[in-house]
Chains A and B, each alone.
Chain A
Amino acid sequence: MQTSSVKNQTKQIIALGILGAFIGALVFILGIAIGVAFARPGGLLDAGASPFAVSPSIAANPVAINDTAAEQGRQPSLNYALINDVLRRLRTQWYGEMPSSAQLTDGAIKGMVAALGDEFTQYIEPRFAKLLNEDISGVFEGIGATLRQTPAGGVQIVRTFPGSPAERGGILPGDIIEAVNGVSTQGLNSIEVAALVRGPRGSEVTLTLRRAGRTRPFDVTLVRERIEIPLVSSKMVGDGSIAYVSLFDFSQPASRQLEKHLKELLDKRPSALILDLRDNPGGLLSQAQEVGDIFLKQGVLVIERDYRGNKKVTRTTDRGIAQDIPMVVLVNGGSASAAEIVAGAMQDRGRAVLIGERTFGKGSVQSPQTLSNGGQLRITIERWYTPNDRAIHGTGITPDYIVNSAPEDLKEGKDPQLEAAIAFLTTGKTPPPTPIPTVEPARR
């Protein structure tokens, strides 16, 4: 009994041992599997060292689109092995000081976005996104200048408003902003630079500017003010028989102010009307519609196509106060976005003759998405087309009569484009061609 019991026990132990070894092997493999699972791409380096560490939560999505998280789950992840290989080389070999993980991440997102080749899809770093959010109150305190991104990557002054700190301080259109309060603008986009320039009224901001014809950058210090931008100016031109109205942008009160000025002008019984949309950078689509309503009868204003291929048509209604008066719309390379919508619709529907230069070609809508790090991604989600289905984006609107204007003209108080408009409305012809301005019918 004793022996057989021992034998049995031995058998039991051996059996248990084999079973154990078998289970053990399985568990060992499980261990490897867990290891592989945890070291999935995207979390290669430890959380502290890797700029691409997993963020604690998925972004809140301000646009009512719910497929995002699902699509993110399906799409192949970035090649973090490659990216982290580069960063590892930098960390061990680069001569300079390494930027922080957050900076590298911001840079990487900007680089990815740049690969889209769309200058309007932009990433705003968290520090600037925060400033933009604070600005939502609508109180615009700054220096009274508009900015634009140059193809070379710099940020440039497009124009300064009359009487603004920028204009009084001698800032000129074309100046490149190199730094704001000593913070380099290298790698920053126009929205980020604008966020740096803005601040509480009464506070100082120092811009470091580079200007064509000057060898060295120079500093200009300005005191920020509450900027009240006059949106409309108007006058009678020609022999006092033509009404002229200029709209500076399409922000909230644009159509109301425009209508007020027009009522006064129309009381003077003008024979024709000139709407000046030159250097008008655009603004709200709703304002484009309301401005269009003033001049256009019922019909198509603009066609929008979104990223899903959906087509949306925005129409004008039949309630305008200036639907029949002969009209010229002045445009130039600074006419963008909402200004191009209005000009394009007036041209396509035969409501007005366009005179000036080809427009900017910004016919797209950006939707802001807040990322989990607080940064903001502004993605082009829609493109605009004129009522005749001409693309605005990239191509711009070519006027019926091209009349160029040289910078010297402005300095000498000349306005060849306005002169051409007046001549056209009084005689039905544009002025004869002179070396400058050049007048030629546009090729469409």
Chain B
Amino acid sequence: MTRIEKGLAVVAFVLWSAMLVAVGYAGHMLLAPAEARTVYVQSGSALPLLDEAWGHVRAHFIGTVPSNTLRDYGAIRGALATLNDPYTTFIEPQPRAIERDHMRGQFGGIGVSFRQNERGEFVLTPAPDGPAAKAGVREGDVLFSVDGYVLPPAADFEVMARVRGPVGTPVTIEVLRGPDRQRLRFTIVRQLIEIHTVTWRTITSTVGTHPFVVGYLKISSFTDRTGAEVQRAVAHLMEAGAQAYMIDLRDNGGGALSAAIEATSAFLKDGVVAFEIRRSQPNIEHRVRSMSVRVGEDQPIAVLVNANTASAAEVMAAALRDHQRAQLVGEKTFGKGSVQLIFELSDGSAVRVTAAKWLTPARHALDGAGLVPDVEVKGSPAEQEARAMEILRSAAAKHMSMR
């Protein structure tokens, strides 16, 4: 090779190497998750501000410094607090697990409910015929340990999360029973436990000389299974000859919007259930879905609401009223018309982000305002029900006389 050729080879080699470095670098970028692709290129000696602040705390604080996890959660909570939005919140892994179970309407568990006594202990109530009851757990047993983990004095959500787990897996609990606090051990296989959100019954009276059957339907919250539960309840009530419906949404704090739409669709033939307004998107129309069971349009409906009726429950109440399908009876509702999206994070925690506002079909904002009932009854729950009955009976009477 001539000197020139050698020189060229060296230059080519250097260029080629540089290119490879670049390709390698790009390769890394492709491997990295999307948000990491914009690479921060600055002197590596400087420290991020949060680390700087925490460094001072670690070096000088006289008390006990919390774990890194609690520090990170604190930082996230603090950042979210600057939004001034009470509904944009951070949820730690265990409360999130409980919440997720609730939203799904089912989980792997042993069929016990928890109650804390004045000593802060967890007192168990086994569900009749549930796995715990069958294993021998009794009402009043105090939970002592879960899979060898002895409950600390100030136990919380953690306890519920520990008892729950995948269906088919065993969990060993120890309980303290009776005045001598005898310690007993049970190993119980977790089964599918369903959270029921809908209860129903018929209320029979008369209108004039005619018998009058009202289908009463209470929805306690909106989980992924609520739509199906409402369908089944309405089917039963129709079969029982219901001529009118009383939907009880009192103390229903909301839940999944899709469940509220499905529940509404059992009572509404067509139309918009709610509008969803996002910051940077065209309005989303949530319309009535086609359902196998639907209440007839000539059957009067009363919806019971109170100050704890919120969010998805307000969507359902407002939709039925705006379409002139129902009268609202009770108290002014809570007024929460914002939509939160839940994002699960890598460590099982989650962030709930207010992503949209709801408008009723008549384009009324729900947020902060609440729904004023057509018939305001501030009395006892029984008085509200009695008033709803009156309304349904007079509506039925009108209908019957028109016939």
Partner-B contacts on A (CB < 8 A): 9, 12, 16, 20, 23-24, 27-32, 34-40, 42-47, 49-59, 63, 65, 67-69, 71-72, 75-90, 93-96, 99, 103-118, 121, 123, 186-187, 305-307, 364, 367, 369, 371-373, 375, 377, 379-383
Q: Tell me the bound Cα distance from A50 to B32 in angstroms.
A: 17
Known: A27-B24, A72-B47, A85-B346. A90 touches B55 (CB 8 A): no
Known: A82-B347, A86-B90. A67 touches B353 (CB 8 A): no
Q: Is the CB of A111 within 8 A of B53?
A: no
Q: Tell me the bound Cα distance from A367 to B59 in angstroms.
A: 12
* A-B residue pairs in contact (CB < 8 Å), sample of 5: A23-B17, A32-B27, A46-B40, A56-B46, A112-B78
Q: Tell me the bound Cα distance from A67 to B355 in angstroms.
A: 45
Chain B proximity of A71: nearest CB distance (Å): 5
Q: In the complex, what residue of chain A is closest to B354 when comparing beta carbons?
A: A95
Q: Is the CB of A111 within 8 A of B16?
A: no
Q: Is the CB of A107 within 8 A of B78?
A: yes
In the A-B complex, the 9 residue pairs with the smallest Cβ-Cβ separation, listed nearest first, are: A111-B78, A31-B24, A43-B40, A35-B28, A115-B74, A72-B55, A107-B82, A31-B21, A46-B38
Q: Is the CB of A109 within 8 A of B75?
A: yes
Task: Determine the chain A residues whose CB is within 8 A of the CB of B211 once the complex forms.
Answer: none
Q: Is the CB of A380 within 8 A of B78?
A: no
Task: Determine the chain A residues whose CB is within 8 A of the CB of B353 once the complex forms.
Answer: 89-90, 93-94
Q: Is the CB of A112 within 8 A of B84?
A: no
Task: Determine the chain B residues whose CB is within 8 A of the CB of A116 once the complex forms.
Answer: 57, 61, 63, 65-66
Q: Is B73 an interface residue (CB 8 A)?
A: yes
Q: Is the CB of A95 within 8 A of B279?
A: yes
Task: Determine the chain A residues whose CB is within 8 A of the CB of B50 once the complex forms.
Answer: 52, 78, 105, 108-109, 112
Q: Is the CB of A94 within 8 A of B25?
A: no
- 20 additional contacts (CB under 8 A) given A28-B24, A67-B59, A377-B56: A31-B28, A39-B32, A42-B47, A45-B35, A54-B40, A72-B59, A78-B68, A81-B346, A89-B343, A93-B343, A93-B353, A94-B83, A105-B79, A109-B50, A112-B50, A114-B74, A115-B70, A187-B84, A372-B52, A379-B56
Q: Is B369 an interface residue (CB 8 A)?
A: no
Q: Is the CB of B49 within 8 A of A371?
A: yes
Q: Is the CB of B25 within 8 A of A35?
A: yes
Chain B proximity of A386: nearest CB distance (Å): 17
Q: Tell me the bound Cα distance from A69 to B38 in angstroms.
A: 28
Q: Is the CB of B39 within 8 A of A43?
A: yes
Chain A proximity of B35: nearest CB distance (Å): 5
Q: Is B100 an interface residue (CB 8 A)?
A: no
Chain B proximity of A67: nearest CB distance (Å): 6
Q: Is B62 an interface residue (CB 8 A)?
A: yes
Q: In the complex, what residue of chain B is closest to A38 when comparing beta carbons?
A: B39
Task: Determine the chain B residues whose CB is within 8 A of the CB of A121 once the complex forms.
Answer: 57, 61
Chain B CB within 10 Å, residue with most, of A34, A51, A116, A117: A116
Q: Tell me the bound Cα distance from A47 to B43 in angstroms.
A: 12
Q: Tell me the bound Cα distance from A114 to B66 in angstroms.
A: 10
Q: Is the CB of B82 within 8 A of A99?
A: yes
Partner of B77, one of A38, A59, A68, A114: A114
Task: Determine the chain B residues whose CB is within 8 A of the CB of A90 once the complex forms.
Answer: 80, 83, 88, 351, 353
Q: Is B386 an interface residue (CB 8 A)?
A: no
Partner of A52, one of B49, B62, B83: B49
User: B127-156 CB contact bits vs A (8 Å, 1 = yes)?
Assistant: 000000000000000000000000000000
Known: A112-B74, A112-B78. A99 touches B83 (CB 8 A): yes
Q: Is the CB of A44 within 8 A of B338?
A: no
Q: Is the CB of A54 within 8 A of B35?
A: no
Known: A307-B60, A382-B62. A93 touches B355 (CB 8 A): yes
Q: Is the CB of B17 within 8 A of A82?
A: no
Chain A proximity of B311: nearest CB distance (Å): 15
User: B68-105 CB contact bits vs A (8 Å, 1 = yes)?
Assistant: 11111111111111111100101000000000000000
User: B273-286 CB contact bits vs A (8 Å, 1 = yes)?
Assistant: 00000110000000
Task: Determine the chain B residues whose CB is within 8 A of the CB of A108 once the complex forms.
Answer: 50, 75-76, 78-79
Q: In the complex, what residue of chain A is closest to B67 when comparing beta carbons?
A: A115
Task: Determine the chain B residues whose CB is within 8 A of the CB of A39 once the complex forms.
Answer: 28, 32, 36, 39-40
Q: Tell me the bound Cα distance from A44 to B20 in angstroms.
A: 24
Q: Tell me the bound Cα distance from A85 to B73 in angstroms.
A: 13
Chain B proximity of A384: nearest CB distance (Å): 11
Q: Is the CB of B48 within 8 A of A80?
A: yes
Q: Is the CB of B9 within 8 A of A82?
A: no
Q: Tell me the bound Cα distance from A65 to B61 in angstroms.
A: 13
Chain A proximity of B367: nearest CB distance (Å): 10
